[in-house]
Amino acid sequence: MTHFLDLHVTPAADLRAIIDDAMRMKQARNGHPKGRPDAEQPLQDHIVALIFEKPSTRTRVSFDVGVRQMGGQTMVLSGADMQLGHGETIADTARVLSRYVDLIMIRTFEEATLLEMAEYATVPVINGLTNRTHPCQIMADIMTFEEHRGPIKGRKVVWSGDGNNVFASFAHAAKQFDFELVFTGPAPLDPEPALSGLYSIERDPARAVQGADLVVTDTWVSMHDPASARERRHNQLRGYQVNDALMAQANPDALFMHCLPAHRDDEVTSSVMDGPHSVIFDEAENRLHAQKAIMRYCLQG
């Protein structure tokens, strides 16, 4: 059984093979209409369950389109549809779904939900996001960087803002893909202690981005944060906004990424999002190609 649960529990060689496969599949579709099936149909006769406890645009659309392009069918389920973990255990839900579908992608809140689903499912399970990590996003980010700048090994990546679930997956990727990762943000929003040793900290954002090949940020308030956190987060993070002045301190050819959705002129200015450093829409597109390669990896494993 080959799950895709997190970057640090997937062999580095397998992650590299997934990126290479995603590049190849993207190139093979160059110029084709979005609805045209891929020449290869690895999901033919397969059904994929897409489970969403959290709202989603990119994850939902990219997985749905990807399954269809590879010849499969999707079943999209919300947490409300399933009452996941309410009345029926997650373990029993996993056992039941495994009788109906060939692959499960779950976008959920608690990491424990993902892990229990994987433990009891008899089909592969993919982590579409948890409060702790977001590995599919980072696979798309690595792919995007390498499309534009070549191998990420040995490069400098700077994260500005909150040490959240997306940063956690960047930290896992730094070890697996062998690049330098610097966190710049306020101490109260430091990444979880379990990630220590995978990145360095520089509180001064201008100093942090010097020599950076890639600058990354995310929303200051995540969807799982309480509304009461909004004003406090803005006060804490205002000095870590990615703007033109900050990008000017990075390497001249540095890229800018954001997993989206973005709050323009909060964590990043519109001039950066729409400027020459930004590859955010290539990054969003590559969710499709990276996840197609992940699904194929799971079914071939």
Instruction: Give me the half-sphere count of Cα atoms (radius 13 Å) on the Cβ side of residue 113.
Output: 25
Catalytic residues, by residue number, are 107, 134, 137, 218, 259, 287
d(CA 217, CA 21): 27
Q: Helix (H, G, I), strand (E, B), or coil: what is residue 198?
A: coil
In the chain, the DSSP E strands lie at 47-52, 73-78, 103-107, 125-129, 156-160, 180-184, 200-201, 214-217, 255-258
CA dihedral sign of residues 123, 101, 35, 39: positive
d(CA 149, CA 15): 18
CA dihedral sign of residues 291, 294, 299, 300: positive
Q: Are 134 and 114 in contact (CB under 8 A)?
A: no
How many helices (H) and strands (E) would you count in the chain? 12, 9
Residue 180: other Cβ atoms inside 10 A: 15
Matching residue, tokens 């379990």:
194
